[in-house]
Amino acid sequence: MLKKINLVKNDVSIENLEEDQAGHELEALARVLAEHDQLYYQFDSPMVSDDVYDSLRARYVALETYFPYLIRPDTSSCRIGAPPIESFRKVWHTVPMLSLNSALTEEDVAAFLRRVRQFLGLSRSIPVVVVAEPKIDGVSVSLRYENGVFVQGATRGDGIEGENITENLRTLKEVPLLLDSKMNIPEKLEVRGEVYMTKEEFIKLKGNCREIGNYYKSFSNPRNAASGSLRQFDPRITAARPLHLFAYACGDVDNPPWRTHWEFLERLRGFGFIVNPLVRRCETLEEILEFYESLVTRRNALSYEIDGLVYKIDRVDWQRRLGLMRRAPRWAIAHKFPGEEACTIIESITTSVSRTGRLTPVACLRPVTINGVKISRATLHNEEEIARRDVRVGDTVIIRRAGSVIPQVVSVVAAMRPKDTQPYQGPTFCPICYSLTTRESGGGIRRCTGGLICPAQRTERLKHFVSRNAFNITGLREKHLENLYADGLIRSPADIFSLEEHDHIIPLATRAGWGVRSACKLFKNIRAKRRVCFHRLLYALGIRHVGEATAKTLAAHYRNLTRLRVAMAAAQDRTSEAWHELVNIPMVGLLKSETITAFFAEQHNLDILDELEKLVYVQADDSQGQELLPLFGLKIVFSGQLTTMSREEARSRAVSLGARVTNSVSKKTDYVVLGGNGGAKAKKAVALGVPLIREQTWISLINRDG
């Protein structure tokens, strides 16, 4: 039960207060206000009227205004003073917030260490020190400091662009608002870490809320609760939630003075952050695995949830050399714990139809709870997979949930199979539009041939089009889209923007049960989205394999829709320069190039784009892209054996600086970098008049620019 709340009442006028009296009153008021906030926001049960609350807060603010030097950065008004907002602004991560590659077995970990050694060209005698840290199952955040002052906090988002949640993060006690100035603080410092809720706090919240209302019902586990709590538009709600932070990485930083990750963690502690106390320096694979085993057994006893360990190469200069792969660093890996399993029965197998027409068999299960999450469905992937494991309706199965992964059927308990079960057969007709289905050769994937006449694909496409990271049109829910589709008002994305012009729309909306006010609000939202960033439009189109990150890359490369359309028309010819350009864009490659050009080959897609271009203004993306990189645009070929680094490292350094590295020399090559004697490519370069540069010159070039 909560403590009884003392109301502070002090009628002495502020001008007559002594400094220490004011200090005491501020402190007491801060406590009282925090308690009221908790009662109001967390438990929905205020103990005082709004008037009383407002007068307490007014007194608090007045005290701070009169005695500004008494404001402590960690007091209530700084932590929860910001007014609620309506949406989060976006934040570009100057250094992308990457994910981690996973290791599931000991062999995967050994392979990681081998790859590191090979990449760096290390001999066996040189130890590779690794820092092992618990992988916290929470929400990753970025915290920016300028001269030691907290200036911006953001979510990870898609790793490239996150949401600005500064005011919410300010409310966490474990986010230092001022770094401890006894340390030498870099002018610009971005600290990354994980916000989490302890298991006990989560259960307590759920329990309290059951008594008071069902506020937390929607949060199934501590991670969701932490994430939901951070993404509140009113920071006072976040302030009332029990959130913690473990700091574990740095992002954008000026001249980092630490040489190892271990040293960095020590500095973090010195700055005032909490670093997980279980971090450990390991020198051998055996030590790493021993630590992993010890945590597997201790895992449940920890007060917070972890879903594995993260191993990071300790030396920062090695981290820099190892660099990044597409979405994850080469210098770290997540060693996951085995997912938790449960036993249940498949009651039926249904089929879901995706936006791209892919049919996926889904097992409908007798509900079971794993790690506090109720599971009633599990993916069965495709027919080939079902046939391989002979999964049938009525079977008793073991299912597993690992982290945020969709629950999987691990195995069938053959001995418990009832009589008269039948092998599974995929549907001949689409369960939504009854068009014939086809099975792709090779894979077991079945597709609906209905294309845009299939309502599942249509509404799924429309849902995707209006979704948060696409056009972000709030108020147009799935049910609305289905109704409007059925009424013939929205058949293609462009129809959304002419919705308001239908004079019978209001009566229709009212009939559909969403009221005149919400319909008007929706029109306002739609109008506001008539100006859209190029990458959002690209993502909204729902081109196969084009997720947010690829959309951003394409937008940064082609800058505007017209240039992209011209290029894609040209790229239909596989021998064209346009096709080669597309395939060579980092993160694009062959598979995506195929689906992108296929999209632009369909007349009905071009029609949709024409219609959209008439109704929305497509804003060119800011030049956040590759072109800012120092070697952008250079085409480089490496020839012969390099002496200072492996070929793989040389290639990765060049690519990370924006260059394009190819294997063969052509007239378009800008430089050939010579290692050793150079070999055949050097001869060709001479013949074509391509400049040759020595390895040392190359190294000084990248070091200067890097």
Binding site for ligand IVH (CB under 6 A): 98-100, 133, 135-136, 140, 156, 194, 248-249, 310, 329, 332, 334
Shortest CB 309 distance to ligand IVH, Å: 8
How far apart are the C-alpha atoms of 661 and 398, rounded to whole Å? Answer: 47
Minimum CB distance to ligand IVH smaller for 310 or for 349: 310
Amino acid identity for residue 4 in this structure? K
Q: In angstroms, how far is CA 440 from the centroid of its own chain?
A: 31
The three-state secondary structure class of 585 is coil
- Give the burial class of 25: count Cβ atoms within 10 A of its Cβ; 0-12 exposed, 13-18 middle, 19 or more buried: buried
Nearest distance, CB of residue 230 and ligand IVH, angstroms: 13
Alpha-carbon gap, residue 9 to 397, rounded angstroms: 63
- Least separation in angstroms between residue 195's CB and ligand IVH is 9
Q: Which is nearer to ligand IVH, 156 or 321 (CB)?
A: 156
Least distance CB 332 / ligand IVH (angstroms) = 5
262 contacts 132 by C-beta, under 8 angstroms: no
Kindly state the tokens that stand for 326: 């597409």
Query: Which one is catalytic: 3, 4, 9, 135?
Result: 135
Q: Which is nearer to ligand IVH, 249 or 650 (by Cβ)?
A: 249
User: Of 135 and 241, which CB lies nearer to ligand IVH in the complex structure?
Assistant: 135
The least CB distance from residue 282 to ligand IVH, in Å, is 14
State the distance between the two ends of the chain, measured CA to CA, in whole angstroms: 57
Token digits of residue 196: 């989490």
Whole-number Å distance between alpha carbons of 45 and 49: 11
Per-residue DSSP letter, 301? G
Q: Could you confirm whether 206 is annotated as catalytic?
A: no
Between CA 46 and CA 36 the distance in angstroms is 7
Using CB atoms, what's the residue nearest to ligand IVH?
A: 140
Q: How far is the CB of 103 from ligand IVH (least distance, A)?
A: 12
Nearest CA among 299, 267, 263, 80 for reference residue 189: 267
Q: Specify the residue, 332 or 654, whose C-beta has the smaller distance to ligand IVH.
A: 332
Q: Which contacts of 296-304 are long-range, i.e. CB under 8 A and separated by 24 or more positions?
A: 296/337, 299/337, 302/134, 303/198, 303/199, 303/200, 304/136, 304/137, 304/138, 304/196, 304/197, 304/198, 304/199, 304/222, 304/244
Question: Which one, of 358, 384, 381, lies nearest residue 443 by Cα?
Answer: 384
Taking the complex as a whole, how short is the minimal distance between the CB of residue 669 and ligand IVH, in angstroms?
A: 33
Between 401 and 660, whose beta carbon lies closer to ligand IVH?
401
Nearer to ligand IVH, 163 or 194 (CB): 194
Catalytic residues: 135
